[in-house]
């Protein structure tokens, strides 16, 4: 009996020993190499954060996905890729999507416990190439049927641009997937969008089983990057991007309406406050706010640092996070503004509130915390 | 008087089986004197040209794999490593005052005129290559950190402050607290104009004289950190320690005089030992070897060993004079009686030194060679020249009278030591030693390999250099413990995507190793650059597969992160400390990563940087440690076996030595001194020289035992014959090295402390434990010998 027990212990020890010695990985490619379990996963680059009640999930470099309620005690999840992840979006507390570099889209259907790769850059390349060829056929047909020379010239110009993209795509087949998704947004379990570099827009209506390329749905022939998708209180979708790119969709991303952008520099984010006002922000401390989504008014911020992300505080104020540890807290009604800087001076990529005065910040230095000074002690600008 | 002297001399000729050596020496005394004079003059001329040098290459194990890799790329890595960082601190207010900025500009200019400075690579906020840049709607904009129209007004200072903030130089060229700014000064190892290699000592002195002495005031402090400064300070320290030599000579002279009460013979002993040192230094210079801060120990040891042997001869000469021989006769008999014993002892010293050759570090090999030469020289000067000199000069009557008086006394200390031949005392002594050894072994478990102190471990923790270093570490974002892994690939392939991706993964792997503060590499810069060319967007901070994009991402990369033909990219790992544990962990993790991600194209070569070199040194020391102990004890045991042909005797002599070795290791662990290049040789030296005491004492004791005396009588006889000499030798050796305890060079102080401890402890161990062990092992008089 004893002997059997010892044999059992031995066997299990051996099994663990074998299990813990991973197979060597030759010709390393981050796309399909599982994310490394890291002791300091919270200290690397973190780019996206999801808040669900008291629980947080943060994503970042080397396929890092960590889950926590207390930033000091996080747990890293197994992820099938090591690319830089860029954004996280939840439909409900079970269904979560994550976007990443190399055309990666990850999905969890168990609240972030396990992750599956639903799309990679090779598939994205195929999809885009098919779409480009389809567009080429469409354009060529349209040029033939052009009603006047002026229209034909316009179309020829567009075709030239398209050939440029087709050439690029053909090179990509050799180089490998180079395009990152920069954001992902799902309206429900079925309908969602993933957007990113060079104007990539993918849309699914069957929960990610099939994707269609929607790059042409916005006026973005030069291929500016799309940085952020935000769903408004009435289901409207706001899309912002490079060089002031600003568009709106009222049919869950099927079609878009280009908006008059108040700014020609890049926009990194957007958010709706409790009054339904739309805030957009980006390069060099530029912040604009609009009541109706059409007319924007600039907010004086007294900072030149890029503003990369934002959220609403519990009291309804807007907080924006940016480069050099910059934090702006803005009262949406009075536009009264407080400016803080995190001691790390590190560029920030996101901000969430954990309690009245406690913020969680993410960015180049990983997870950070920040205590908002009590109202009386606030240092305003 | 004359008559009787002649008679005595005849007796010498008749009774002495005067050997060949003695005839050769004493029949040609004048030619020999002339010979010694000429050689000494010749070697003095060369010895006078010996200068301490402190070359990094010699202090590291040149044949170790890590160092070979480092040498392969040392040119590529030099640009990165060989620089001094000079910080200018104001103790009043901050750096944004016109006075401070004027001063900083002046110092920056002043430094750029120093010989050896690579002007174009210099960086400070006052050099034009330090710029700010930022992303605007139109792309990058930027300019020099110093505003174009800087005029010292409040406005331009404010502009300067803004430029500094957006230049990313805070923590790099400007202290985090804005109370000091830093000038980064890369050095040219070889002067591009003259082709001469940089004289570190001279450069360091220039910094002291032209920068520190000139600009430091009550409110302005200057801190200088860098390899060149360490070397400069090491040489300064070494020169100071050279001065200790005269201190050691003075103390030794005082002791000699106290011992002999004879000025003449004291001077002769000092003279001969000094000549031994001159010869040793001269020969070293002639064979093209130098003297380094480690082998500087050798003149001290040679001098002390010379004195201890000289004392024996002087002692014998005086004793012979007491018996009525004339100067020549006394000297001849002294030589005859001592040259075999002296030669044997010196040979055992030399063999002890040669075991140091198992440590594959050039400075230690130089030390071993220098010490062997020194011991060989002592044979000539103190066994040859010394008796010739005494045969002419003789000893003073006062010395003779003093010895006559002393010989009649029965020394109370001898009585005390003699008690250890009694069973109770013997058991007590061995029991206490056993307990101490057990405690020592327990303590020695904590003994660490390598250096444990922060900063430049060569220098003391409270040295100016290490204070400066601590200041810069505290105020700037930089670690001084740098471990470099060289990512090696085919020429031109260093920034291929596959290699960059692997380097990136490697960097992350290392960033997760405990003890690692930060890692920098071309992959890291490429990721920063990717965000940079995408308007600072962090979500782009990833290695890109597209070659054109990759090239764009590293277009602003600082120099030194890839080599000239793009076949090597250093991965620079900043560590918390350079403790052996930390270094081992880093080495293990680098190897683990290479095993987990095998690549045909990219190898992660260990290791450069001060921490990488230290890792290699530690490995060599660790490997050499047991081999060296094995060798030195093996040699000592064999020597003792040959001399005494008794295992019991060997145990009596060797066990006290082992006790000393254990206790010195416990001492090291208590004082936080690691086993390193400086301290490992000390153990061999301690054992090699320490065994002399045992040999002297035991051989005299055996002499008495053979005459049928019991153990107690025999030991008292041995003490009366050699006790004083042993005590004197122990003290002379200890004093010679004890002066080192005050060396500004930390490792010299460690060596001095440990050697002093070992010399004294060995002496006490021999005096107490040899009789005690002999009693316990049942050593008995040989009755039969009486008849013979």
82-111 of A, contacting B, C-beta below 8 A: 82-84, 86-87, 101-102
Q: What is the distance between the alpha carbons of residues A126 and A210, in angstroms, rounded to a whole number?
A: 13
| Cβ-based contacts of A86 with chain B (< 8 Å) | 539
Rounded to the nearest angstrom, the minimum Cα separation between A363 and chain B is 8
Residues with Cβ < 8 Å from B173, sequence gap 6 or more?
B123, B124, B125, B130, B181, B182, B183, B184
Q: Using the beta-carbon criterion (under 8 Å), do B546 and A101 form an inter-chain contact?
A: no
Categorize the per-residue pLDDT at B136 as very low, low, confident or very high, splitting at 50, 70 and 90.
low
Residues of chain A contacting B542 with CB distance shorter than 8 Å: 61, 83-84, 101, 180
Mean pLDDT taken over chain B: 85
Note the pLDDT of residue A4.
52
Element containing residue B95 per DSSP (H, E): none
CB contact under 8 A, A27 and B599: yes
Q: Average pLDDT in the A88-103 region?
A: 95
pLDDT at A21: 56
Do residue A45 and residue B538 have CB atoms under 8 angstroms apart?
yes
- The whole-angstrom distance between B578's CA and the closest CA on chain A is 21
- pLDDT at res. B347: 79
Of the ranges A117-131, A163-177, B229-243, B681-695, which is most confident?
Answer: A117-131
Q: Which residues of B touch A27 (CB under 8 A)?
A: 498, 599
Q: Using 50, 70 and 90 to split pLDDT, how confident is the model at B716?
A: confident
Suggest the residue from B133, B174, B538, B550 to mutate for an interface test with chain A (most A CBs closer than 10 A): B538
Q: Which residue in the block uniquely carries the two structure tokens 């996280």?
A: A88
User: Residue B539 is nearest to which of A22, A182, A304, comparing CB atoms?
Assistant: A182
- The pLDDT of B318-333, averaged and rounded, is 87
Bridge partners for B647 per DSSP:
none
Q: Decide if B136 and A283 are in contact by the 8 Å CB cutoff.
A: yes
Pairwise CB contact (< 8 Å): B137 & A283: yes
Count of alpha carbons within 13 angstroms of residue B188, beta-carbon side: 17
User: Can you tell me the mean pLDDT for B315-339?
Assistant: 85
> In this structure, are residues A362 and A338 in contact, taking their beta carbons and an 8 Å threshold?
no
- Concatenating the DSSP letter of every residue in A71-136 gives TTEEEEPP-S--SPEEEEEESSSS-EEEEESTT-EEEESSTTSS-EEEE-HHHHHHHHHHHHHHHH
Q: Do A283 and B497 touch (CB under 8 A)?
A: no
Which is it for the CA torsion A287, A293, A296, A297, positive or negative?
Answer: negative
pLDDT at B9 over 60: no
CB-based contacts of B61: which residues, under 8 Å, 6+ apart?
A: B67, B360, B361, B616, B617, B619, B620
Mean pLDDT of all residues in B262-283:
92
Q: Tens digits of per-residue pLDDT, A235-276?
A: 999 999 999 999 999 999 999 999 999 999 999 999 999 999
Among A334-338, B291-295, B344-348, the range scoring the smallest mean pLDDT is B344-348
Q: Which residue of B has its CA nearest to A268?
A: B537
For residue A58, list chain B residues with Cβ-Cβ distance below 8 A: none
For the cut 80, the answer to whether the pLDDT of residue B462 exceeds it is yes
On the question of pLDDT at A379 being above 50, the answer is no
Q: How confident is the model at residue A306 (pLDDT cuts 50, 70, 90)?
A: very high
At residue B3, the pLDDT reads 40
Interface of B with A (CB under 8 A): 134-137, 165-166, 170, 497-498, 501-502, 504-505, 508-509, 511-512, 514, 534-547, 549, 595-599
> B168 pLDDT exceeds 80?
no
**Residue contacts between A and B (CB atoms, under 8 Å):** 110
Q: What b-and-e string marks burial along B704-714, b requiring 16 or more CB atoms within 10 Å of the CB?
A: bbeeebebebb
Q: pTM for the full model? A: 0.84
- What are B420-459's pLDDT values in tens digits? 888 898 899 999 999 999 999 998 888 888 877 777 888 8
Residue B164, pLDDT score: 87
Say yes or no to pLDDT of B189 above 90. Answer: no
Mean pLDDT, chain A, integer: 89
* Nearest beta carbon to residue B512 from set A40, A101, A225: A40
Contact (CB<8Å) B135/A182: no
Q: Is the pLDDT of residue B4 over 50?
A: no
Residue B6 scores a pLDDT above 50:
no
pLDDT at A328: 95
Instruction: Enumerate the residues of chain A whose CB falls inside 8 A of the CB of residue B504.
Output: 30
Report pLDDT digits (tens) over B477-519.
767 788 999 999 999 898 899 999 999 999 999 999 999 988 9
Q: Is A11 in the B-facing interface, judged by CB distances under 8 Å?
A: no
Query: How confident is the model over A12-20, as a mean pLDDT?
Result: 50
Q: What is the ipTM of this complex?
A: 0.92
- A183 to chain B, closest Cα gap in Å: 10
Question: Does the distance separating the beta carbons of B599 and A364 come in below 8 Å?
Answer: no
Interface of A with B in 143-202 (CB under 8 A): 175-178, 180, 182
Rounded CA Rg of chain A? 23
Q: Do A44 and B511 touch (CB under 8 A)?
A: yes
Q: How confident is the model at residue A59 (pLDDT cuts 50, 70, 90)?
A: very high
Q: Which of A28, A36, A364 sits opposite B501 (nearest CB)?
A: A28
pLDDT in tens, B76-101: 876 555 788 899 999 988 999 999 99
> Is 50 exceeded by the pLDDT of residue A17?
no
């Amino acid at each position: 009996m004893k002997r059997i027990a010892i044999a059992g212990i031995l066997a299990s020890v051996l099994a663990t020993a074998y299990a813990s010695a991973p197979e060597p990985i030759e010709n390393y490619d981050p796309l399909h190499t599982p994310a490394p379990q890291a002791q300091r996963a919270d200290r690397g680059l973190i780019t996206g954060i999801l808040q669900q009640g008291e629980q947080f999930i943060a994503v970042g470099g080397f396929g890092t996905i960590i889950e926590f309620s207390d930033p000091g005690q996080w747990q890293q999840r197994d992820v099938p890729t090591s690319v830089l992840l860029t954004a996280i979006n939840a439909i409900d507390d079970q269904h979560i999507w994550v976007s990443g570099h190399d055309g990666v889209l990850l999905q969890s259907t168990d609240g972030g416990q396990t992750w599956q790769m639903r799309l990679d850059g090779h598939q994205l390349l195929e999809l885009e190439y098919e779409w480009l060829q389809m567009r080429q056929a469409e354009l060529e047909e349209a040029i033939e049927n052009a009603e006047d020379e002026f229209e034909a010239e316009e179309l020829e110009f567009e075709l030239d641009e398209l050939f440029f993209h087709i050439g690029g795509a053909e090179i990509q087949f050799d180089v490998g997937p180079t395009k990152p998704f920069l954001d992902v947004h799902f309206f429900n379990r079925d309908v969602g969008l993933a957007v990113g570099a060079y104007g990539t827009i993918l849309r699914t209506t069957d929960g990610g089983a099939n994707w269609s390329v929607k790059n042409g749905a916005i006026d973005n022939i030069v291929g500016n990057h799309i940085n952020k998708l935000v769903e408004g209180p009435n289901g409207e979708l706001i899309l912002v991007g490079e060089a002031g790119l600003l568009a709106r969709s009222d049919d869950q991303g099927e079609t878009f309406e280009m908006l008059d952008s108040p700014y020609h520099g890049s926009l990194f984010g957007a958010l709706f406050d409790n009054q339904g006002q739309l805030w957009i922000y980006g390069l060099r401390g530029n912040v604009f706010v609009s009541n109706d989504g059409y007319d924007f008014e600039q907010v004086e911020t007294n900072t030149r640092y890029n503003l990369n992300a934002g959220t609403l505080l519990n009291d309804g104020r807007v907080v924006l996070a940016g480069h050099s540890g910059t934090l702006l807290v803005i009262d949406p009604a009075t536009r009264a503004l407080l400016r803080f800087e995190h001691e790390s001076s590190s560029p920030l990529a996101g901000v969430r509130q954990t309690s009245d005065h406690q913020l969680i910040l993410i960015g180049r230095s990983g997870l950070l915390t920040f205590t908002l000074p009590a109202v009386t002690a606030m240092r305003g600008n | 008087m004359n008559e009787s002297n002649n008679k005595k001399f005849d007796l010498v000729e008749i009774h002495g089986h005067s050997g060949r050596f003695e005839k050769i020496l004493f029949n040609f005394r004048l030619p020999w004197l002339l010979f010694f004079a000429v050689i000494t003059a010749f070697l003095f001329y060369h010895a006078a040209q010996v200068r301490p040098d402190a070359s990094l290459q010699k202090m590291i194990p040149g044949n170790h794999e890590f160092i070979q890799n480092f040498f392969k790329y040392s040119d590529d890595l030099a640009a990165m490593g060989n620089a001094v960082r000079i910080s200018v601190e104001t103790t009043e207010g901050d750096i944004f005052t016109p006075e401070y900025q004027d001063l900083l500009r002046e110092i920056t200019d002043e430094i750029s005129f120093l010989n050896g400075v690579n002007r174009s690579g210099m960086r400070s906020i006052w050099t034009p290559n330090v710029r700010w840049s930022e992303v605007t709607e139109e792309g990058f904009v930027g300019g020099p950190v110093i505003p174009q129209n800087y005029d010292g007004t409040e406005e331009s200072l404010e502009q300067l402050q803004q430029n500094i903030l957006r230049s990313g130089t805070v923590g790099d060229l400007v202290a985090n607290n804005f109370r000091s700014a830093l000038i980064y000064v890369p050095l040219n190892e070889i002067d591009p104009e003259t082709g001469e290699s940089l004289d570190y000592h001279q450069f360091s002195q220039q910094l002291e004289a032209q920068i520190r002495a000139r600009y430091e005031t009550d409110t302005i402090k200057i801190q200088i950190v860098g390899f060149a400064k360490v070397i400069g300070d090491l040489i300064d320290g070494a020169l100071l320690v050279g001065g200790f030599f005269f201190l050691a000579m003075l103390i030794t002279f005082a002791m000699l005089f106290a011992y002999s009460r004879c000025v003449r013979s004291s001077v002769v002993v000092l003279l001969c030992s000094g000549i031994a040192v001159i010869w040793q230094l001269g020969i070293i210079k002639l064979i093209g070897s130098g003297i380094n801060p480690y082998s500087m120990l050798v003149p001290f040891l040679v001098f002390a060993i010379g004195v201890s042997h000289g004392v024996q001869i002087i002692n014998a000469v005086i004793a012979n004079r007491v018996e009525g021989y004339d100067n020549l006769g006394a000297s001849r008999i002294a030589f005859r009686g001592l040259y075999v014993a002296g030669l044997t002892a010196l040979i055992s010293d030399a063999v002890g030194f040669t075991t140091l050759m198992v440590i594959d570090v050039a400075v230690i090999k130089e030390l071993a060679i220098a010490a062997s030469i020194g011991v060989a020289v002592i044979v000539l000067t103190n066994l040859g020249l010394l008796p010739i000199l005494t045969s002419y000069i003789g000893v003073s009557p006062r010395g003779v009278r003093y010895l006559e008086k002393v010989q009649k006394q029965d020394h109370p200390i001898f009585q005390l030591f003699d008690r250890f031949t009694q069973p109770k005392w013997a058991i007590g002594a061995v029991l206490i030693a056993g307990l101490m050894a057990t405690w020592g072994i327990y303590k020695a478990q904590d003994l660490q390999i390598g250096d444990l102190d922060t900063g430049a471990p060569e220098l003391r923790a409270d040295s100016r250099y290490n204070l400066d270093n601590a200041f810069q570490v505290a105020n700037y974002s930089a670690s001084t413990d740098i471990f470099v892994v060289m990512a090696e690939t085919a020429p031109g392939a260093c920034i291929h995507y596959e290699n960059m991706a692997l380097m990136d993964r490697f960097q992350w792997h290392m960033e997760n190793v405990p003890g690692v503060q930060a890692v920098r590499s071309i992959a890291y810069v490429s990721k920063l650059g990717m965000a940079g060319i995408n308007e600072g967007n962090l979500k782009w901070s990833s290695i890109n597969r597209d070659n054109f994009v990759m090239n764009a991402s590293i277009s602003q990369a600082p120099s030194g992160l890839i080599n000239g033909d793009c076949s090597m990219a250093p991965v620079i790992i900043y560590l918390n400390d350079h403790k052996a544990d930390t270094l081992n962990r880093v080495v293990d993790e680098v190897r683990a990563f290479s095993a987990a991600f095998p690549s045909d194209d990219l190898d992660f070569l260990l290791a450069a940087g001060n921490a990488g070199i230290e890792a290699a040194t530690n490995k060599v020391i660790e490997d050499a440690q047991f081999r060296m102990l094995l060798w030195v004890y093996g040699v000592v045991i064999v020597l003792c076996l040959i001399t005494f042909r008794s295992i019991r005797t060997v145990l009596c002599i060797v066990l006290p030595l082992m006790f000393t070795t254990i206790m010195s290791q416990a001492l090291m662990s208590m004082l936080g001194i690691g086993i390193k290049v400086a301290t490992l040789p000390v153990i061999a030296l301690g054992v090699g020289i320490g065994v002399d005491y045992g040999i002297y004492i035991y051989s005299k004791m055996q002499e008495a035992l053979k005459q049928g005396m019991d153990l107690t009588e025999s030991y008292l006889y041995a003490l009366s014959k050699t006790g004083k000499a042993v005590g004197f030798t122990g003290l002379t050796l200890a004093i010679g090295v004890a002066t080192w305890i005050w060396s500004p060079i930390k490792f010299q102080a460690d060596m001095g402390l440990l050697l002093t401890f070992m010399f004294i402890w060995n002496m006490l161990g021999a005096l107490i434990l040899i009789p005690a062990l002999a009693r316990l092992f049942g050593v008995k008089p040989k009755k039969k010998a009486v008849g013979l």
